């Protein structure tokens, strides 16, 4: 899904041209007035798989897209954050949950929406959690209780399937992959 064209330079306000700048190999939005090259890169979504004993904490979305469906606590990384800081912040914002981060568990490229999703395993520090502003409700779910047909995004269901397969195997690994457009 290509981005719509940029029209004006965010630095000086002049009209932009789309062309391959010297020393590059891809078309970029270039300002002929001030020389700024406007790079457009994927957005990074970061979240956690909060665990409490044999349960995982899920959030029911109060916002679009996918309002009313379940997800892991996650959201867009902010400028100036590390992925770990973003994961902790998003878990606190979405589920008001405090966690101790474990290892990065999944890294999923989602090129058709220009995103990369990163999920950390995380241990809930307590059961003091609640719905944040972008969440309708939160809950702890055992594997057999996961509302699979109501999961908001394929990155979430993919991550959860890897999580439960690793747990069954008795060893957690790192999972990298891609989510292709629906057919």
Tell me, what CATH number does 30's domain have?
A: 2.20.70.10
Tell me the C-alpha distance between 49 and 145, whole Å. 15
% of the chain beyond a pLDDT of 70:
98
Residues 91 and 154 in one domain: yes
20: domain range?
Answer: 1-40
50 in a structural domain: yes
pLDDT digits (tens, 9 = 90+) for 34-59: 999 999 999 999 999 999 999 999 99
Residue 183 counted as domain residue: no
What is the pLDDT, as a whole number, of residue 95? 98
Check residue 3 and give its pLDDT. 64
Positions of the chain with pLDDT lower than 50, given as ranges: 1
């Amino acid at each position: 899904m290509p981005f719509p064209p940029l029209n004006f330079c965010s630095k000086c306000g002049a009209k932009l041209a789309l062309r391959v700048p010297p020393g590059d190999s891809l078309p970029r939005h270039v300002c002929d007035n001030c020389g700024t090259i406007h790079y457009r890169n994927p957005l990074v979504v970061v979240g956690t798989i909060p665990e409490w004993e044999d349960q995982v904490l899920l959030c029911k979305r109060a916002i679009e897209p996918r309002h009313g469906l379940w997800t892991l606590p996650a959201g867009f990384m902010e400028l100036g954050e590390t992925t770990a800081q973003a994961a902790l912040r998003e878990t606190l914002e979405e589920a008001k949950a405090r966690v101790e981060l474990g290892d990065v568990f999944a890294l999923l490229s989602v090129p058709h929406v220009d995103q990369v999703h990163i999920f950390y395993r995380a241990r809930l520090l307590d059961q003091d959690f609640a719905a944040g502003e972008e969440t309708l409700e939160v809950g702890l779910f055992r594997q057999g209780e996961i509302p699979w047909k109501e999961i908001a995004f394929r990155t979430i269901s993919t991550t959860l399937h890897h999580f439960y397969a690793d747990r069954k195997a008795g060893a957690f690994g790192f999972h990298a992959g891609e989510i292709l457009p629906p057919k």
